[in-house]
């Protein structure tokens, strides 16, 4: 696809920055997965938090006191996630990584779509639906045995070892982010010389601070997002087009297709 000249120039410049980067890192948010049918949290009228009060349904306190309330809210979202497939933006990032142009992918998403697209070593800062942990004995289990039946029947997942409720390994309000993932994300941001922000409004700390850490170390910044972020004024490239169109276009330019 050929864009109007100013946009095409930005696409070409983004591709040049990626080709010349020694260690590029991508940071993705909900906006990369909404084209796959997964709702984001904050968009007015369509985001999950425009219909629900987050602290009432998705906090660790609610989960501990009334897990059935959390699972009742979570069930349709889990179904959407399991039905979703990687879109061209996920696939473009995986191709960039496979060709050696992208060192790390940091994501705020829990949907596993980067991994499904073929990306390796994805840093999941807000947890993942790939596993569940027992709230009593802390045994960890893969999602396959527990979450698909829950989505189909609504039966809550329980630990085979002790019978306690299983919690999906996603970060709820009131929980700390996973230490290892956050540590790896900070390391990647501080070591990179280019960071791509894709589908994130950069509103949720501490992950929203990672691009600032990168550019403070001299890294270039590319932002691909519908709405403005606090770092647009510091970015080398800002593109507001749909990520499923713009990322494949950048990939083609990088690979000289």
**DSSP notation for the chain:** -PPPHHHHHHHHHHHHHHHH-SSEEEEE-GGGTGGGT---SSSTTTSGGGTS-HHHHSBHHHHHH-HHHHHHHHHHHHHHHHH----HHHHHHHHHHHTTS--EEEES--S-HHHHHT--S-EETTEEEEEEEETTT--EEEGGGTHHHHHHH-PPPB-TTT-PBEEEEEPPBTSPPPHHHHHHHHHHHHH-SEEEEES----STTGGGHHHHHHHTT-EEEEE-SS--TTGGG-SEEE-S-HHHHHHHHHHHHHT-
Q: Is-catalytic flag, 126?
A: yes
Residue tagged active-site, from 90, 114, 126, 220: 126
Active site residues: 126
């Amino acid at each position: 696809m050929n864009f109007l000249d100013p946009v095409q120039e930005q696409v070409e410049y983004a591709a040049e920055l990626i080709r010349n980067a020694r260690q590029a890192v991508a940071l993705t948010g909900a906006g990369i997965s909404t084209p796959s049918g997964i709702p984001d949290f904050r968009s007015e009228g369509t985001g999950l938090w425009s219909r629900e009060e987050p602290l009432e349904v998705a906090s660790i306190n609610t989960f501990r006191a009334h897990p059935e309330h959390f699972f009742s809210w979570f069930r349709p979202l889990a179904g959407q996630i399991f039905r979703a497939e990687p879109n061209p933006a996920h696939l473009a990032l995986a191709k960039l990584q496979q060709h050696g142009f992208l060192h790390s992918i940091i994501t705020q998403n829990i949907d596993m779509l980067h991994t499904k697209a073929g990306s390796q070593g994805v840093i999941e800062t807000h947890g993942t639906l790939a596993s569940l942990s027992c709230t009593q004995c802390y045994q960890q289990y893969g999602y396959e045995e527990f979450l698909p039946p829950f989505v189909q029947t609504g039966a809550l997942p329980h630990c085979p070892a002790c019978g306690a409720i299983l919690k999906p390994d996603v970060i709820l309000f009131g929980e700390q982010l996973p230490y290892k993932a956050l540590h790896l994300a900070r390391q990647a941001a501080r070591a990179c010389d280019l960071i791509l922000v894709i589908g994130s409004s950069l509103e949720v700390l501490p992950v929203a601070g990672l691009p600032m850490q990168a550019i403070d170390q001299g890294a270039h910044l590319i932002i691909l997002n519908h709405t403005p972020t606090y770092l647009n004024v510091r970015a080398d490239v800002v593109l507001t087009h749909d990520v499923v169109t713009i990322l494949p276009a950048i990939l083609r330019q990088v690979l000289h297709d």
